[in-house]
Amino acid sequence: MVDYQYAAKTITDELSAALHNIDSKEVDELLRKIQKAEKVFFVGVGRVLLSLEAIAKRLAHLGIKTYIVGQVTEPAITENDLLIVGSGSGETAFPLIIAKKAKQFNATVAHIGADPESSMEKYADTFVRIPVRTQLELPNEIPSVQPMKSLFEQNLLLLGDTIALMIVREQNIEISNLWKHHANLE
């Protein structure tokens, strides 16, 4: 039987290695674009979408207008808005189609992924690389023993929480005041 403590340490070591190898300048650029945008839209598929939904919710707690592409109440995207694409490969069809469409409306597009030279490159104004293992075996990839793309999805979620904390600290937001943005029909 595999020891829980060993497995947990393995995962947290992988997370730490990947998070500490994300370029802080890329994150700062994404942060500025989030703060500048009137609305922030998110697109991804599968477990990446689940991480993006959590990020959108966290940013909404900070008073940022966030939307998931395809949700019933999604408004129109404009040149004043930001689309954040989560796609490790940068080759996933649906996010590519949505990024292309967003550019047709002159929106800013940010890609969070593992491959800076993917097909998404032609649409992205900003790129944040999460340097985790891919099928491409790119330089400086953080290896993982976890199944599939777990390390990418986990780092995506933690990157979102890191950006939220950066906003809280930069704007001196009192944490207790954030409850006014929390769902209250629970």
Strand stretches in the chain, DSSP E: 40-43, 66-68, 82-86, 108-113, 126-129
182: closest CA among 60, 65, 68?
60
- Annotated catalytic residue, options 153, 170, 174, 186: 153
Task: Print burial letters for 74-91: b (CB count within 10 Å at least 16), e (below 16).
Answer: eeebeeebbbbbbbbbbe
Give CA separation, 80 vs 61, 89, 108, in Å: 21, 27, 8
Q: Is 153 a catalytic residue?
A: yes
Strand pairing class (82-86; 126-129) = unpaired
Kindly calculate the radius of gyration of the chain based on its CA atoms and give it in whole angstroms: 17
* Three-state secondary structure call for residue 136: coil
- Where in the sequence numbering do the catalytic residues fall? 153
